Amino acid sequence: MELNRVVVTGIGALTPVGNSAPEMWENLKRGVSGAGPITHFDHEKFKTHFACEVKNFNPADHMDRKLARKMDLYAQYAIAAAGEAIRDCGMDLETVDKNEIGVILGVGIGGINTFETEVSNYAKHEEDGPKYNPFFIPKMIGDIAAGQIAINYGFHGPNYITASACASSTNALADAFNLLRLGKANAILTGGAEAGIWPTGVGGFNAMHALSTRNDDPQGASRPFSASRDGFVMGEGAGCLMLETLQHALARGARIYCEVAGVGMSADAHHITASHPEGLGARLVMERALKDAGMQPEDIDYINVHGTSTPVGDISEMKAILDLFGAHAYKLNISSTKSMTGHLLGAAGAVEAMVCVLSVRDDVVPPTINHADDDCDPEIDYNLNFTFNTAQQRPIRAALSNTFGFGGHNACCIMKKYEA
C-alpha cells in the first residue's frame, strides 16, 4: 500500500510570547521571554510567584460570549489557535468536504480551573447540598476542545484527544499524520491546548519541586543547559496545525509550509516523573522518527529539544542526542524555546512542532536564552551548539522536535522542506 504524503498548510498560535503564529515567531527569534508575575490568582503564599501567561486575551475576539462562558480557558485558547490555523490554510469551508476533515488535539490536564472552582464552591456550601454548574463536566473534560472546534466548523472526520502529559500534542500530531497517510481523512486540524496556571496546578508542581523558584528574576528563570537551572517555568496557551494529504493540498492550490516526514513514539518505562538518566527512551523515540521518515541522523539540521530546564531532564536528553547522532551532533543546532515560552505542558509539542515548521521555512534557529559563560554544568558538553542567546541563520533541510511526558511518554516529529 502506497502511503499518502502529508504537508502542513496552516498554523495558529496563542502563546506567552505572541497571540498569533507570526507574533510568536518574531519574538522567539528575538529571544523574548514570556515570563512575569502570576495574574490568574493570588500567589503570595506559593513557592513560585511567576509563570508564562498568555497576555491580553479576550475570548470575545474569537467566539460568541455566551459560548465562551460555557468553556474552560484551555478550550477558549484552543478555539483561538484553531481559528487562526483554519484561516491561514486558506481552505474554502463552503466547498470542501467536511466529512473528510478531522480534529485531533493533545490535552494534558484540561479544565483544571473549572474543576478547582466547582469543588471549592461545593466545599463552601456543602451544608446546602450539591449545587454544581450544569456546564461543570462539559467545561472540565479534556476532549471538549476538539468537540467544540468540530461543532464550530462542522468537521465530521476523526475527532478526539490524546493525553500523554507533556507529550500529548506531539502524540496528537502523530495520530493525525498516520491517519492521513492511511487515507482515513483528507485534512486534520491537530495541536494542543493547556491553561493550568491556577492554584492546584502551581501548587501541585511546587510540591514536586518541579518549578523554578527564581522569583527575583522571572524572565531569567528558564535556563536550559545552564548549571543554575532549578526547574521549569509553567506556561499556557495553544497551538494548531492544519495537516493535509499532499494530493488534497495540491488539488485546492494550497500554500505548503513544509512536509511532515515522520514521527516516533516510545516509553522510558523507568519512573513516573523522572526521565531515564541515560536518555534511553529519548534516543529510541528519535531513532524511530528517523526510521519512519526514511532518514539518517545526518539529514537533521536542527533539534527543538524538550529542554525544560530541570537538572536531570536536560542532561538525559543531551546524552540521547550524542548517543544517536554521534559526530553529527556537533554539526546540529539545538535549542529550547521553552526558555522563552515556558512549558506549555500538553500544548508544548504543538507549539514546538510549529517552531520547526517555521525554522524549516525560514532557515532560522531560534535561541536558547538565559545562558551565561560562567554558568556551565560540568556534565554538559558545550561543544554542542545550543544556540545560546542569539538566533542563528543556517540552511535547515529538516528539523526534529522532542517532547517527553510524566509517565515516561516520549513523542517526536520531523518536519522537512517540501519538494514537489
- The residues assigned a catalytic role are 166, 306, 343
Which of helix, strand or coil describes residue 166? Answer: strand
Which amino acid is it at 29? K
- Report phi then psi at 85, rounded to 5: -65, -40
Residue 86 near residue 376, CB atoms below 8 Å = no
C-alpha cell read off for 195: 491553561
Nearest to 35 by CA among 305, 199, 167, 215: 215
Residue 7 near residue 243, CB atoms below 8 Å = yes
Which of helix, strand or coil describes residue 343? Answer: strand
Question: How many H-runs (helices) and E-runs (strands) does the chain carry?
Answer: 13, 14
- Bridge partners of 258? 8
What distance in Å separates the CA atoms of residue 293 and residue 291, rounded to the nearest whole number? 5
Q: What one-character DSSP code corresponds to residue 327?
A: G
C-alpha cell read off for 256: 505548503
CA distances from 407 to 234, 279, 372 (A): 18, 14, 32
Residue 215 near residue 202, CB atoms below 8 Å = no
The kind and range of the H/E element at 149 are helix 144-153
C-alpha cell read off for 40: 490568574
Handedness of CA 244, 249, 254, 256 (dihedral sign): positive
Q: What one-character DSSP code corresponds to residue 187?
A: E
DSSP string, 32-93: ---EEE--SS--TTSS--EEE---S--GGGTS-HHHHHTS-HHHHHHHHHHHHHHHHHT--T
H helices of 297-380, where? 311-325, 338-341, 348-362
